[in-house]
Amino acid sequence: MELFEGKYGTEAVDFGEINLPLTLDCGQAFRWEKEEGEVFRAVAYGKETAVKRTENGLLFIDTPKEDAEMIWADYFDLRSDHKTILERLSQDSFLDESIRRFGTLHILNQEPFEALISFIISSCNNIPRIKGIIKRLCESLGEKTPHGFTFPSPETLAVKTEDDLSFLKAGYRVPYILDAARRVAEGETDLEKLKTTDPDSARKELMKIKGVGKKVADCTMLFSLGFRDTYPVDRHIERATRELYPDGLPCFFTPDSGLAQQYIFLSRIS
């Protein structure tokens, strides 16, 4: 993967393929907004970018090379050998068909606190409603950027009350949001430290937070903490796994079971 800064921003090339629209709208992240010309815009890690496919790769519009290097290349997982990973996963006939159908998906490496709160909000919810709640949260409590808002910090959320957050219309999830924010703000849950622990310990620590079950913990681990072999299970995945792999997941899914899960999930909901 190489980065070149030019007149319109920074272009990433030589990283392989990516199905950009599907990667950004398959339930991993909830703040990417589509604009004209197949441009997608969002704020992450306190920085805003707009990204589009080019003939050679991805263009991060009006984005300095330093931000592309330090934030967006990792966010979009542009340094992994996706061709080799997909060749290995394609040993499974179901995944082979899914990969041919959906192209190259990337696992996004999101800001951990944003991912944690987003997946708490996602519990027993649908994507349009999830996006609406998160948008209201950022517009009201985040910091303004040129075209959007940052995700509010743990410290900002931790001092709020349930009444303060009634405008979110998040229902029973509000106390869970506040508990997560308080634990992170006070250092009781150290999300950065969890990146260096083993999966079972990370999951156990996350599940101490009110409202965080195994699925929310696993989604947070997969999409923000670097646990690529995590396999989040909802009703779609539970049914599909039981039907496709009654004897357990193929060993060659490791260490990318999370990516395999994305293809199985998309196949079942499409």
**CATH number of the domain to which 31 belongs:** 3.30.310.260
pLDDT over threshold 90, residue 270:
no
pLDDT over threshold 90, residue 128:
yes
pTM: 0.96
**CATH number of the domain to which 210 belongs:** 1.10.340.30
Between CA 160 and CA 179 the distance in angstroms is: 10
Q: Would you say residue 233 lies in a domain?
A: no
Tell me: do 65 and 125 sit in the same domain: no
Tell me: do 116 and 56 sit in the same domain: no
Q: Would you say residue 187 lies in a domain?
A: yes
Q: What pLDDT digit, counting tens, does each position of 84-127 carry? A: 999 999 999 999 999 999 999 999 999 999 999 999 999 989 99
pLDDT of residue 114: 99
Tell me: do 120 and 210 sit in the same domain: yes
Q: Would you say residue 213 lies in a domain?
A: yes
Q: Is 1 exposed, middle or buried (0-12, 13-18, 19+ CB in 10 A)?
A: middle
Residue numbers of the domain that contains 213? 112-224
Percent of the chain with pLDDT over 90: 99
Q: Would you say residue 133 lies in a domain?
A: yes
Comparing CA positions, the residue from 206, 32, 33, 37 lying closest to residue 117 is 206
Q: How many domains does the chain have?
A: 2
Q: What pLDDT digit, counting tens, does each position of 23-66 carry? A: 999 999 999 999 998 999 999 999 999 999 999 999 999 999 99
Tell me: do 217 and 122 sit in the same domain: yes
Q: What pLDDT digit, counting tens, does each position of 225-262 carry? A: 999 999 999 999 999 999 999 999 999 999 999 999 99
pLDDT over threshold 90, residue 269:
no
Are the C-beta atoms of residues 73 and 12 closer than 8 Å to each other?
Answer: yes
**Number of residues that this document lists for the chain:** 270
The pLDDT mean for the chain works out to 97
pLDDT confidence tier of residue 163, bands split at 50, 70 and 90:
very high
Tell me: do 140 and 75 sit in the same domain: no
Question: 3-class DSSP state for residue 93?
Answer: helix
Q: Would you say residue 99 lies in a domain?
A: no
Q: What pLDDT digit, counting tens, does each position of 165-198 carry? A: 999 999 999 999 999 999 999 999 999 999 999 9
Tell me: do 73 and 121 sit in the same domain: no
Three-state SS sequence of the chain? CEEEEECCEEEEECCCCCCHHHHHCCCCCCCCEEECCCEEEEEECCEEEEEEECCCEEEEECCCHHHHHHHHHHHCCCCCCHHHHHHHHCCCHHHHHHHHHHCCCCCCCCCHHHHHHHHHHHCCCCHHHHHHHHHHHHHHHCCECCCCECCCCHHHHHCCCCCCCHHHCCHHHHHHHHHHHHHHHCCCCCHHHHCCCCHHHHHHHHCCCCCCCHHHHHHHHHHHCCCCCCCCCCHHHHHHHHHHCCCCCCHHHCCCHHHHHHHHHHHHHC
